[in-house]
Chain A
Amino acid sequence: MWRSCPRLRNWGRRLLNWSPGGPTTSVGPGPNTLSPSRDYAPPAERKRFYQNVSITQGEGGFEINLDNRKLKTPQAKLFTVPSEALAIAVATEWDSQRDTIKFYTMHLTTLCNTSLDNPTQRNKDQLIRAAVKFLDTDTICYRVEEPQTLVELQKNEWDPIIDWTEKRYGVEIGSSTSIMGPSIPARTREVLVSHLASYNMWALQGIEFVVAQLKSMVLALGLMDLQLTVEQAVLLSRLEEEYQIQKWGNVEWAHDYELQELRARTAAGTLFVHLCSESSTLKHKLLQD
């Protein structure tokens, strides 16, 4: 959890200190000389430096204004998003910050920043390959051989969604109890690669994010095709953990914490994909009619 925080803190600082001509969100170098009173103190959070959050429609899409200053990405690009609903959701994230800005709760803002800046400098093919790579080690294709109750649980819960995906895309996926995992035919990969190629770059960033959260390509496809709700997908992704919790008990500050974080990230990624690929699906429907 903490590994990501220094980066977020730096991002916040850059966001605030960057001051070109014209009104932006720069507020000058803030006092960042917080000496932690104890070891492992959490990183200092930025104060909420703005009162009002609003949305304007610009040339490249919808922009966010914090007190009449335009929001920028970490790489100082203008923050613009393609859909109004996404802009409203991002503005709501900024508006819901209380006294300090908690960047670790602003998943949609983070996803938009990733799409705008593309910090890993990957192109469409690389993004698709990164997502499809998870299929080789897909969580729901790895099965245990004992204990018997867990074997049956995995079979009952995971098999239906694998079956559905196989039928929906006309491919073979299968499951395995071997450490090497199931052997996925090359054709399956080709079909999924060409399916993912129909999404735009923004949606692909979201898909890769969801796949990496759930550690499962099949579950991510279920979310994209409206087959699973986020709660169901997260439950299936954490199936063994849930089984162990039932057996050994729930620890609020570990299990519940991770559950809520995973749900929030998965929901953000799923919503991001749906909002970013909306225009293409509308066109698709018009063609069908």
Chain B
Amino acid sequence: MAALGSPARTLRGLLRELRYMNAATGRPYRDTAAYRYLMKAFRAHRVTSEKLCRAQHELHFQAATYLCLLRSVRQHVALHQEFHGKGERSVEESAGLVGLTLPQQPGGKGWEP
């Protein structure tokens, strides 16, 4: 069995991702179908005194997988926009990526007309 941590922690993570997603649309995340479904599922399968319940573990596994999906997509999009989303870089930007700057030439390059 994969160790998943506490279900409450997974739920908090999921709600955080829902908040991130709905920050864009401006609507409260509590109005979404995903929020209602998650709360219903987590309430219906709340932790009981059982040490290990197969069905409950299965649901928690799905929730943790969904959390991983939402989190990874968010971070992937952030990296994509930062590094890959804008096409080819200019010379200045490319130099900046590796911590370099282009030389400053206040008077302009000598050989230019």
Q: Measuring CB to CB, which residues of chain A are less than 8 angstroms from any residue of chain B?
A: 1, 36-42, 54-55, 84-85, 88-89, 91-92, 95-96, 98, 102, 104-105, 107-108, 226-232, 252-253, 256-257, 260-261, 263-264, 267-268, 270-271, 274-275, 281, 285
Contacts and interface: CB of A to CB of B under 8 A. Distances in A.
Contacts of A232: 2
5 contacts: A1-B84, A37-B87, A42-B87, A227-B1, A260-B73
3 shortest interchain CB distances as A-B pairs: A267-B69, A253-B83, A41-B87
B33 A55 contact: yes
Contacts of B79: 252-253, 256-257, 260
A226 B68 contact: no
Interface residues of B, number: 39
A263 B71 CA distance: 9
Interface of B: 1-4, 21-22, 24-25, 32-34, 37, 41, 54-55, 57-58, 61-62, 64-66, 68-69, 72-73, 75-77, 79-80, 82-88, 97
B57 A271 contact: no
A139 B76 CA distance: 24
A92 B82 contact: no
Contacts of B25: 95, 98
Given A88-B34, A261-B76, A40 B87 contact: yes
Contact of B73 (A88, A105, A228, A257): A105
Contacts of B68: 229-231, 263-264, 267
A274 B72 contact: no
Nearest to A53: B33
A96 B76 contact: no
A226 B61 contact: yes
B62 A275 contact: yes
A260 B32 contact: no
A264 B80 CA distance: 13
B1 to A, nearest CB: 6
Contacts of B77: 102, 105
